[in-house]
């Protein structure tokens, strides 16, 4: 039997069927965009998201009436909402992970010795409570998107989250890692007190892969057997389950995730190389740790070429145009439209185009942009290796840019590593399906999941890229807006 997967991203909701052959049989998708009522604010309509989840799921199951073995849930991480426990209705907007309205709160907490980033859930929960339940008198539930989808599919019976999502909230008590004590309290009591968050609104912690709840609102009431953050789902979907293996997702931004093993490198904060510790998943109460490196803008740069500069008519044209020149003619581009993430973490850095001459044309500029994103990918690889003392021999990739042949070759050259391209552009749904199938016996072990990997393409380095020139370019892009460059979380 197939596995049903609900995959909730930043801009869409999809339901997919994953087969026992580790392929996506079919999917139905619905756009579900966030809104931005003011600069730095990103909100979503949780009720509309719930309706989209039920709508695409019903549509897919009607098209494939045979029973499903299990349900997997993969979601964007750290986006935050609260809802009424009795009615199940959300209070106010949900706050997207990109929302920055609590930046001042995060800075203020540093005076208390607490370091939180505004993209984490902790201060978002406090803002929602202060706005919609200032007296803390209502019976409410807090959840990230995984919690909301599980609540919806279980008919309000399951108020849960898993470690791959909970570790991104900022609310876990890192001193209790890896949070495996049955019945133990995983939440940071001091932080809850500082932010005025009642323990009663917090979800229960469950395994990433395991029998989590019953999807009672669906035909046949199949078990929900995986609950996982999108980047960790992408890891599993690309067969990246063994320590020392890694993938990069090149979407709007870029995320490198690497599996490390049973023990974290650190239990809180940023590592010395600029990566963050993450929990990749928990199964049978045993957590597996990894690190994550972040590129703030990846595909955004290609959209900028299309939408703002008008140098290309489509993102696909970037490959065709860039391939018309053998190199960028000395042009170097630093993709820092939103600042620099790992390893430098400079929010005041800005996009920089260097080395232009009278002979620089559209093809050279477009190629320089693709190569700049590739160099940032190499930065992420180097940071992960620094923080784990493990070498990444092969880089697996998914996301929209993984279908750009010029970019993939540039990535192989910049990293000096073999690049393997995912057979599906977005590996999240496949990964959530594999994690659910592990619980119901479709696959028996982690090695079975690793063996499902069949790359769409394999690209070896054609020659070394000029990493020294790249580092000089980064220095010129850095610290462009000093007041933002001085911010740190």
Q: How does pLDDT run across 428-461, given as a tens digit for each residue? A: 999 999 999 999 999 999 999 999 999 999 999 9
Q: How does pLDDT run across 374-403, given as a tens digit for each residue? A: 999 999 999 999 999 999 999 999 999 999
Q: In this predicted structure, what is the pLDDT of residue 267?
A: 52
Those residues whose C-beta lies under 8 Å from the C-beta of residue 471, and which sit 6 or more positions away, are none
Tell me: pLDDT of 26 over 80: yes
Q: In this predicted structure, what is the pLDDT of residue 453?
A: 98
* Structural domains of the chain ordered from first start: 3-230 (3.30.420.40), 240-421+456-489 (3.30.420.40)
Mean pLDDT of the chain: 95
Q: In this predicted structure, what is the pLDDT of residue 79?
A: 97
Q: In this predicted structure, what is the pLDDT of residue 122?
A: 98
Q: In this predicted structure, what is the pLDDT of residue 263?
A: 73
Tell me: pLDDT of 310 over 60: yes
Q: What is the rounded end-to-end Cα distance, in angstroms, of the chain? A: 46
What residues pair up with 291 in beta bridges, in sequence order?
Answer: 258, 277
CB-CB contact of 126 with 120 (8 Å) = no
What is the rounded CA–CA span in Å between residue 100 and residue 89? Answer: 24
Q: In this predicted structure, what is the pLDDT of residue 266?
A: 53
What is the rounded CA–CA span in Å between residue 38 and residue 92? Answer: 16
Tell me: pLDDT of 29 over 70: yes
> pTM for the whole thing?
0.95
Those residues whose C-beta lies under 8 Å from the C-beta of residue 354, and which sit 6 or more positions away, are 331, 332, 333, 334, 473, 476
How far is it between the farthest Cα atoms of the chain? Answer: 68
Q: How does pLDDT run across 135-191, given as a tens digit for each residue? A: 999 999 999 999 999 999 999 999 999 999 999 999 998 777 767 666 678 999 999
What is the rounded CA–CA span in Å between residue 378 and residue 371? Answer: 10
């Amino acid at each position: 039997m197939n596995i049903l997967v609900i995959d909730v991203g930043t801009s869409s909701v999809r339901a997919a069927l994953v087969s026992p052959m580790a392929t996506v049989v079919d999917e139905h998708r619905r756009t579900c965009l966030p809104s931005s009522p003011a600069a730095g604010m990103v909100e979503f309509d949780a009720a509309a998201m719930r309706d989209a989840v039920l709508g695409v799921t019903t549509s897919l199951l009607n098209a494939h009436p045979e029973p499903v073995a299990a349900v997997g849930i993969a979601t964007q991480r750290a986006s935050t909402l609260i809802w009424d426990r009795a009615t199940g209705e959300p209070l106010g907007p949900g706050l997207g992970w990109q929302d920055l309205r609590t930046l001042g709160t995060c800075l203020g907490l540093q005076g208390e010795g607490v370091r939180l980033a505004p993209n984490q859930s902790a201060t978002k929960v406090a803002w929602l409570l202060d706005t919609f339940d200032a007296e803390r008198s209502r019976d409410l539930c807090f959840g990230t998107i995984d919690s909301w989808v599980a609540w919806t599919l279980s008919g309000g019976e399951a108020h849960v989250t898993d470690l791959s999502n909970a570790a991104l909230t900022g609310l876990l008590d890192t001193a209790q890692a890896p949070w495996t004590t049955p019945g133990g309290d995983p939440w940071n009591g001091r932080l809850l007190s500082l932010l005025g968050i009642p323990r009663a609104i917090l979800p229960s912690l469950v395994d990433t892969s395991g029998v989590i709840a019953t999807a009672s609102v669906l035909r046949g009431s199949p078990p929900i057997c995986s609950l996982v953050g999108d980047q960790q789902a992408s890891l599993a979907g690309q067969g990246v389950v063994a320590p020392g293996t890694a993938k990069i997702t090149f979407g709007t931004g870029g995320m490198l995730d690497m599996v490390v093993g049973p023990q974290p490198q650190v239990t809180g904060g940023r590592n010395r190389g600029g990566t963050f510790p993450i929990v990749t998943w928990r199964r049978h109460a045993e957590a597996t740790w990894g690190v994550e490196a972040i590129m703030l803008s990846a595909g955004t740069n290609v959209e900028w070429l299309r939408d703002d500069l008008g140098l290309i008519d489509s993102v696909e044209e970037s490959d065709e145009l860039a391939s018309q020149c053998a190199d960028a003619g000395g042009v170097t581009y630093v993709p820092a439209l939103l600042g620099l993430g790992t390893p430098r973490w400079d929010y005041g850095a800005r996009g920089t185009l260097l080395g232009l001459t009278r002979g620089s044309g559209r093809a050279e500029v477009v190629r320089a942009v693709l190569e700049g994103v590739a160099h940032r990918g190499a930065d992420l690889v180097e940071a992960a290796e620094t923080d784990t003392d493990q070498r990444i021999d092969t880089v697996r990739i998914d996301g929209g840019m993984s279908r750009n042949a010029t970019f993939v070759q540039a990535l192989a050259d910049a990293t000096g590593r073999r690049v393997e391209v995912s057979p599906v552009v977005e590996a999240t749904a496949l990964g959530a399906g594999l994690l659910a199938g592990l619980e119901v016996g479709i696959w028996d072990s982690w090695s079975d999941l690793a063996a499902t990997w069949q790359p769409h393409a394999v690209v070896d380095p054609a020659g070394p890229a000029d990493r020294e020139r790249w580092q000089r370019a980064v220095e010129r892009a850095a610290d462009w807006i000093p007041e933002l460059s001085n911010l740190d979380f």
